[in-house]
Structure 1
Amino acid sequence: MSTKIFVNLPVKDLARSREFFTALGYSFNPDFSDDNAACLVISENILAMLLVEPFFKTFTEKRIVDAHTEGEVILALSADSREQVDELVDRALAAGGSPTGETQDHGFMYGRAFLDPDGHHWELTWMDMAAAQEQG
């Protein structure tokens, strides 16, 4: 069975969010996108539904947290190389994202993080699995 994950994230300005993630090199699935939502394609099986806040509220009775001041989730993605980590985070920062945390460099593992314009926390990590097993 092939499982897809749809992460649902509230956003204040859908057009701004689309511009931000397009600048990072991502695309959107038009079949699941309209004026209330944009389906961000992270990979074949990982998608993020960027939902304008009033539409997001139709799915939950909970209040929407301000991700700029409160923790909600850390979205961690793997990268194929250290260079890919740097490239994507640098693009995020150039497109209006904010840096968060320190660069993590453990030799066999490397990671950086950023906040998107709505304050959602994204981490990119590369790991040399052979070297990680040796560290074991």
Structure 2
Amino acid sequence: MSKQIFVNLPVADLDRAKDFYTGLGYRLDPMFSDENAASFKISDEIYVMLLVHDFFKGVTDQAVADTATHREVINALSADSRAEVDALLDSALAAGATEPRQAQEEGPMYGRSFLDPDGHLWEVVYMDMEALEG
């Protein structure tokens, strides 16, 4: 049985964050969105929930991490090709992301990373399974 994951991210400016994730090609789900939160479907199994800081604080007893000085998590997405990795990074950069390091290539793996406008780190990785098997 497949499971779903709901990645909950605190955001400083919900409208800016919604514009960013829309710029990546993800569609806002208005059923689970309001002035405190926005839901984006990444795939049938992956959703990103963007929560304004005060709302996020209401579901945890800890402070929101300062992504400029602390890394709370690294979100990694798979891609079906190197071109898909590059296309998603191009979209992210055009929507306001920054690329914290150069593309990484290790044998059959190719990946790139971006920081969204709130500093959340995303990695996009393609793995050439045929090269792994050969």
Q: What TM-score comes out, normalization by structure 2 length? A: 0.95
Classify the secondary structure of the residue corresponding to 1:113.
strand
How far the C-alpha of 1:103 sits from its partner, in A, is: 0.8
Structure 1 equivalent of residue 123 of structure 2: 123
Structure 1 equivalent of residue 44 of structure 2: 44
Identify unmatched segments of 5+ residues in structure 2: none
How far the C-alpha of 1:31 sits from its partner, in A, is: 1.2
Structure 1 distance, partners of 2:116, 2:82, is 20
Show the 5 A alignment for 1:19-34: 19-34=19-34
Structure 2 equivalent of residue 111 of structure 1: 111
| Contact 1:68/1:120, CA 8 A, preserved across alignment | no
Code of the aligned partner of 2:128? D
How far the C-alpha of 1:91 sits from its partner, in A, is: 1.2
Structure 2 equivalent of residue 53 of structure 1: 53
The 10-residue stretch of structure 1 (67-76 or 100-109) with the greater mean CA deviation from structure 2: 100-109
Quote the RMSD (CA, aligned, Å). Answer: 1.1
Structure 1 distance, partners of 2:49, 2:27, is 12
Structure 1 distance, partners of 2:54, 2:97, is 23
Show the 5 A alignment for 1:91-110: 91-110=91-110
| Contact 1:109/1:132, CA 8 A, preserved across alignment | no
Classify the secondary structure of the residue corresponding to 1:17.
helix
How far the C-alpha of 1:107 sits from its partner, in A, is: 4.5
| Contact 1:27/1:40, CA 8 A, preserved across alignment | yes
The 10-residue stretch of structure 1 (95-104 or 112-121) with the greater mean CA deviation from structure 2: 95-104
Structure 1 equivalent of residue 75 of structure 2: 75
| Contact 1:103/1:112, CA 8 A, preserved across alignment | yes
The 10-residue stretch of structure 1 (101-110 or 17-26) with the greater mean CA deviation from structure 2: 101-110
Structure 1 distance, partners of 2:94, 2:59, is 32
Question: How many residues are treated as equivalent by the alignment?
Answer: 134
Q: What TM-score comes out, normalization by structure 1 length? A: 0.94
Q: Point out 4+ residue stretches in structure 1 off by more than 2 angstroms.
A: none
